[in-house]
Structure 1
Amino acid sequence: MHDDEPKDDAPQPPPPPKHYTRVKKRKIDQGFNLIIFFFPALGGLLYGYDIGATSCATISIESVTLSGISWYNLSSVEIGLITSGSLYGALIGSVLAFNVADFLGRRRELLAAALLYFVGALITALAPDFPIMVIGRFVFGIGIGLAMHAAPMYIAETAPSKIRGRLISLKEFFIVLGMVGGYGIGSLLVDTVAGWRYMYGASTPLAVIMGIGMWWLPASPRWLLLRAIQGKGNMQELRETAVGCLYRLRGPAFGDSAPEQVDEILTELAYVGDEKEATFSEMFKGKCLKALTIGAGLVLFQQITGQPSVLYYAGSILQSAGFSAASDATRVSILLGLLKLIMTGVAVLVVDKLGRRPLLLGGVSGMVISLFLLGSYYLFLGDVPVVAVVSLLLYVGCYQLSFGPIGWLMISEIFPLRLRGRGLSIAVLVNFGANALVTFAFSPLKALLGAAILFYIFGAIAVVSLVFIFFVVPETKGLTLEEIEAKCL
């Protein structure tokens, strides 16, 4: 025996504790999971930034001295086109996604969204006149529609089941972070000549980072496997590509289990019947109709309980409430945005522990109370302003615990894989359609009915949404996407 060979009776170092290995693997997994999440979530950040920046840009562009343009004297309809132009573009993007999503795949759809974000922001920032600016807003909006469609799908299809809710909810956190950033940059630039140009131009670097990141990330393994079982490529080649993508997405700690998990997904997809290609009529039959009812219902109620009105018209609402200086209005918007950010963070931390239904039921119950309190304040509690302040904060906080993150989470989970692209596009179309409608109708409805009646109507709608959640929406915590399809639909 050579001296450098280990002796059988030599003392061996003790093996590392099992929990050490688990902790080390968990840290590696979390690092890779965050990378998966970060670049798709930039699409949400840019959407949120647009909301915050537009709230300040409309104040800047209407200023005689600070707009830096000769066409500052815009009508209310023209200001409405600037404010909601990206929403109408998002509607177009949602319609496009219905037809091209399953062909392009989630990754390439996000690449297209990044390009449209960049081009749209550049056109808007450099616009020489009003029509060109509206075109830029529409192009940017098409990017929003594609990103809000593909990002939750990509994250849902690549994230581990145990933290899927947290990662998709983090996208909502990024949306709110973008709003706060938009309000913040807007407040800094609102007193600058042609400040609105810089507000919109500031989103271009983020669009470039998003595009580079999505170019680097692999395709969704589930999308590849869907194409494999539907005969849209060589089964063995697509399976091997899916194994490689899954290994890249989960990291070294995933080890040799990638082929085994790919085979499990293929088996489950065949079991639930995803080898059949989806048709348009199937969207309104059987389990897909149930998924569509759940998903579209949630995002509809998300919008028609008044939230878009506060977000898109925050500056003008705060000005009418006594904050006469534009900079004061935007700073208060930042404070509201920070509250939204904190409450969304709470939802992110607890969604995979408490589940989706408890957060929805609890948060929407708080919204009901706050909306009826706001209506009562405007009707007969006008001498108690603390009621309005507390009610507004309660409303914003409860929304971010419930409809804000959970709506996007549920629509990314609930649709069967072969119908997910088209089903999610319909849900996103409903979301942006309702958003545009409420945003457009808020001012005339307030003038016609008064704030008190309007808040009471929103409160009644919130009660209906509570009933809908209790009787229709299932719990999906901890289930794989294939298990959701088999057990909840």
Structure 2
Amino acid sequence: MGNSILLLASVASTLGGLVFGYELGIISGALLQLKVEFRLSCVQQEALVSSLLIGALMASIVGGFLIDHRGRRNSILLSNILILTGSLVLLVSSYSVLVVGRIIVGFAMCISSMSCCIFVSEVVTPDHRGFLVTLYEAGITVGILAAYGMNYILSDSKRGWKWMFGLAIVPTLIQLVSIWFLPSTTKESSNQRGGESMTTIESQEADDSKLSIKNTKIQYNSMYLFQSKDNMRTRTAIGLGLVLFQQFTGQPNVLFYASTIFHSVGFQSNASAVLASVGLGLVKVIATLTSMVFSDKVGRRPLLISGCAFMALSLITIGLLSGHSVMDATRPCNPEDFNVNTTDLPQLTVSGGRSVFGTPFDENQRLLNNNTQGQDVVLDDIRQKPLDTPLASSPRVHDAVVNWIILVCMMVVVSAYSVGFGPSLYTFSK
């Protein structure tokens, strides 16, 4: 029975992280299709993406109470049911319903993340707890990679976003089944692991009374975290600071908007932008696995410091180079609009010395129609412009190099986050 519990707990832990990572990353590619199908504005796109976080915020307020009073196992089962419900709601072709569905999924993800690691650590022996927490972290990164992979496979499919959201049902169902067969209490799991269950009611009651006495001696209230005893005030400040700065790095936003960001730095088609995000997910998986291998040998603190240093340097580089790169800033919000890039096209001049690209498109069309009826349009500049291009290609090459440097720095940011803030945060919180 001990091996079967460990196997089920491993499956539950890995799938819990996988579903968490999948739901985080899947919006990146789905957003490319949703903004075209529903003609979403910038605000609507941001509301759809952030609705997941709104649900998580709501769950963080009531999650602790729910877990303490209903138990870890029941909380995970509830989160599975909510994810299944939210995934089905996301299949409806309505923007407002999509927002509601993402809120439900976000609520469930938060409940699952809070209770999953605690639960699996209670039903297995102490020497396997670190391994299961590691599996959960690995499951998150693999889930993100799987989401980006599904985004790429379904990038050219009609209404592929429904399949993207719906495929989360599969791992959720498997996790629900594995959790269902796991014991619901620590005492029950201990009895099954060791096969040393109490044979008499008296001995069990005696053991329960000892446990209750022991538990009453170590009960603390929330104010204990802010007291100077045992240096708890400093430890609490460090823990809260790490959590806040983890979000301030902006790395979660990179996961949400990966495909959109790659569009901005020059990847034209949806497929190419999503394929680049697959590379980003692969880099994150490799960095996470590397961190897991060296975390015990090198130490969590050196990994956190080095990861933060590389993130800082990369973000500074991105900030300095972004002003010199050519980015399509209007495309993420207005995919259906006709956009003319005046930096890439030659200047077309009509009689009177007016530039066509200096006026609105409708007025340009009127000017061209009026001037071509009575006189010739001056097109010599257009014919000659591409010919004087020994130096004309130099700015484009420069812009391409800058964009690729930004892309590499983004990869470094994601890798450094996975090495530093990612797994180290859990161990510092202990």
Normalised to the residue count of structure 2, the TM-score between the two structures is 0.72
User: In the alignment, is the contact (CA less than 8 A) between 1:158 and 1:220 conserved in 2?
Assistant: yes
Q: Match of 1:113?
A: 79
Among residues 246, 260, 264, which one is paired with 1:320 in the alignment? 264
2:44 maps to which of 69, 78, 85: 78
Q: What's the secondary structure of 1:296's corresponding residue?
A: helix
Q: Write the letter of the residue equivalent to 1:121.
A: S
What's 1:359 paired with?
A: 303
Q: Give distance in 2, aligned partners of 1:42 and 1:331.
A: 24
Partner of 1:433: none
Question: Identity over the aligned pairs, expressed in percent?
Answer: 30
Match of 2:381 in 1: none
1:188 aligns with 2:153: yes
Do residues 173 (structure 1) and 191 (structure 2) align? Answer: no
The answer for the alignment partner of 1:5 in structure 2 is none
Deviation digits for residues 89-139 of structure 1 (CA, Å, limit 9, x no counterpart):
0111111112221111211111111111110111111x2422222111111
Task: Establish whether residue 208 from structure 1 lines up as the match of residue 169 from structure 2.
Answer: no
Structure 1: stretches of 5+ with no match in the other structure? 1-27, 222-241, 415-489
Contact 2:32 2:270 in 1 (8 A): yes
CA distance in 1 between partners of 2:295 and 2:121 (Å): 14
Q: Structure 2 vs 1, CA of residues 34 and 368 (structure 1 numbering), >3 Å: closer, same or farther?
A: farther
Report the number of matched residues. Answer: 348
What is the CA distance between 1:290 and its match in structure 2?
4.8
Matched, 1:44 2:17: yes
SS at match of 2:140: helix
Amino acid at match of 1:179: I
Unaligned runs of 5+ in 2: 200-205, 326-397
> Is 2:245 the partner of 1:301?
yes
Q: Is the 8 A contact 2:9 2:178 kept in 1?
A: no
CA distance in 1, matches of 2:288, 2:133: 12
Does the C-alpha gap of structure 1 residues 344 and 247 become closer, same or farther in structure 2, counting only changes over 3 Å? Answer: farther
Pick from 412, 416, 423 the counterpart of residue 394 of structure 1: 412
Question: Match for 1:192: what amino acid?
Answer: S
Task: Give the aligned residue type for 1:36.
Answer: A
- CA separation of 1:141 and 1:257: change in aligned 2, threshold 3 A: same
Q: How does 1:81-480 map to 2 (within 5 A)?
A: 81-125=47-91, 127-221=92-186, 242=187, 244-248=188-192, 251=193, 275=217, 277-285=219-227, 286=229, 289-378=233-322, 385=402, 387-411=405-429, 414=430
The residue identity in structure 2 corresponding to 1:208 is L
SS across alignment from 2:90: helix
- When residues 220 and 275 of structure 1 are mapped into structure 2, their CA distance, relative to the original with a 3 A threshold, is farther
Q: 2-side partners of 1:380 and 1:200: how far apart?
A: 37
RMSD: 3.2
Corresponding residue of 1:438: none
Q: Structure 2 CA distance, aligned partners of 1:356 and 1:159? A: 24
Amino acid across the alignment from 1:394: V
- In 2, distance between residues paired with 1:40 and 1:215? 13
For residue 62 of structure 1, give the secondary structure of its aligned residue in structure 2: helix
The 1:297/1:274 distance shift into structure 2, 3 A limit, reads farther
Tell me, yes or no, if structure 1 residue 58 matches structure 2 residue 31.
yes
Distance between the aligned counterparts of 2:191 and 2:308, measured in 1? 39
- The structure with more radius of gyration: 2
Q: Which amino acid aligns with 1:152?
A: C
Is this contact kept in 2: 1:169–1:408, CA < 8 A?
no
TM-score (norm. length: structure 1): 0.64
Worse-superposed segment, 128-137 or 179-188: 128-137
CA shift, 1:291, in A, is: 4.9
Alpha carbons of structure 1 residues 266 and 189: separation in structure 2 relative to 1, 3 Å:
farther
Structure 2 CA distance for partners of 1:299 and 1:163, relative to 1, 3 Å: farther
Q: CA separation of 1:284/1:408 partners in 2, compared to 1, >3 Å: closer, same or farther?
A: same
Q: Is this contact kept in 1: 2:21–2:143, CA < 8 A?
A: yes
Deviation at 1:294, TM superposition (A): 3.5
| SS of aligned partner of 1:79 | helix
CA distance in 1, matches of 2:8, 2:255: 29
Aligned counterparts of 1:281 and 1:343: Cα–Cα separation in 2: 37
Displacement after TM superposition at 1:214 (Å): 1.1
- Residue 201 of structure 1 deviates from its aligned partner by 0.9
SS of residue in 1 equivalent to 2:40: coil
Secondary structure at 1:73 match in 2? coil
3-state SS in 2 of match to 1:181? helix
Cα distance in structure 2, aligned partners of 1:264 and 1:307:
48
How far apart in 2 are the matches of 1:213 and 1:194? 32
CA deviations 1:227-262 (Å, max 9, x no partner) are xxxxxxxxxxxxxxx1x31254xx4xx576999xxx
Tell me if structure 1 keeps the 8 A contact 2:22–2:146: yes
